[in-house]
Amino acid sequence: MIGFPFCEPPAPEARAASRLAPAPASFRGRAGVLVLRRGADCLYRFAFEPLEGTPGRWEEIDGSRLWPERTEPAMPHVLLTNGRGEKADLVQLCRRFLGTRAQPLSSRHADQWREAFCRALSSPTVQLLLERNRSFQDWEPEASAEWFIGTPSPQEIRWPGAFYPPARTTAPLVRFLLEGCRAGSERPLCPEPMELPVLYEDQDLVVVNKPSGLPSVPGTREVWSAKGLLEKRFGSLFAVHRLDMETSGILLFARNLEAASALGRAFREHRVCKRYRALLEGVPAQSRGTVALPLAADAMDLPRHIVLPPATGGKEAATRFETASVLECADRRVRALVDLFPKTGRTHQLRIHCAHPAGLGCPIEGDSIYGSQGALLLRSGRPLCLHMAEIEFEHPADGRRLHFESEPGYLSLFLKRPAA
């Protein structure tokens, strides 16, 4: 049975098959494999999506070309076949998808989704599932994988040879193509409640130590979230800031509108002092400094973000960093433990500023999006080694300074264990 490729690591069969891929000479871009089985027989099919026309430096990127908009008359009429042999036109599938959105999209975003459906046709996973449904119906898809070959575009972080899920905007087509195949369902994020230690509470605030793997607030696929768990105990809460699902550490919630307004204003005006502690995959060349790389959401592959000049859509982002210590870990690798002080609060800012070659050039350990191990970390149980370790702010009601610290729990996974 093939797994749902967006939230599962590639199966061992697909990883082994990837080493046999007949990549074209000097190829740059995504490669994909689909493992097919019929009885005792096994068949490998490969597809490639080249990366073309990319600039040499991120400062030269034209953001208007990354996410062009496409109106419906410009969409090609391509017939797709799913695993049951049912056929649907690309335009019909796009209309069906846009019609099921919980909230209506603006015309601009609808046009971007039309462009995304057209781009999805070149995705290796989509190409391979289309080929299977058209020509290999008596072969059952067993596993799939995508990985990157060659030098990546300077706006995004890809590691040659690392496995990645297909672009997220291909998911509607992949779901259709897998209908009628023996495929695993999309498992929810955080299916079980997690322990959520409360560090402080009063009539205005709740301060907790959020574990890695728990979303801060509810979303479309989340069964549990920090906000949802706490509301069972404290009643209605207001999120005044968020941590990525994979990021652990100190998280604040307001218990009334007045506190939420005051705290939100303090965050916007940069009156909240924050320190994150991260364990990197290696040791950066500089022990301290500031990374200033403007960021933007990758509309074609959310939740990924990219480096993009402000003139073409990026938002300014800056992070001060200091190396706290250099550790020799249990696996004999040397890693840096760094303190990160974000001057802005962009999504995935710390993760990108650590991983990008124009930043620290050392991804955070456990990062399945920007780290060198990519999708192999999905469902692995390995946490993202990024922890909100310290925060200081004024109490929203009486103005007194509040200060909280929390040590990361991930270090025990890497440090040398004492000899027996």
244 is annotated as an active-site residue: yes
Instruction: Give the residue carrying structure tokens 């649907």.
Output: 88
Q: Could you give the CA distance from residue 318 to residue 293 in angstroms, rounded to a whole number? A: 7
Query: Residue 230's Cα: distance from chain center in Å?
Result: 25
User: How many C-alpha atoms does 294 have within 13 Å on its Cβ side?
Assistant: 14
> In the chain, what are the helix, strand and coil shares in percent, each to the nearest 5?
25, 30, 50
Q: Could you give the CA distance from residue 77 to residue 118 in angstroms, rounded to a whole number? A: 10
Strand-pair partners of 390: 275, 405
Residue 223: phi and psi, rounded to 5, are -80, -40
Q: Could you give the CA distance from residue 142 to residue 131 in angstroms, rounded to a whole number? A: 14
Q: Which of 244, 298, 301, 367 is catalytic?
A: 244
The candidate with the shortest Cα–Cα distance to 339, out of 258, 236, 249, 234, is 249
CA dihedral 240, 246, 250, 251 (to 10 degrees): 20
- Under DSSP, the state recorded for 163 is B
CA dihedral 68, 155, 352, 151 (to 10 degrees): 130
Query: Residue 176's Cα: distance from chain center in Å?
Result: 23
**Full DSSP string of 256-320:** SHHHHHHHHHHHHTT-SEEEEEEEBSS--S-SEEEEE--EEE-TTSTT-EEE--GGGT-B--EEE
Q: Where in the sequence numbering do the catalytic residues fall? A: 244
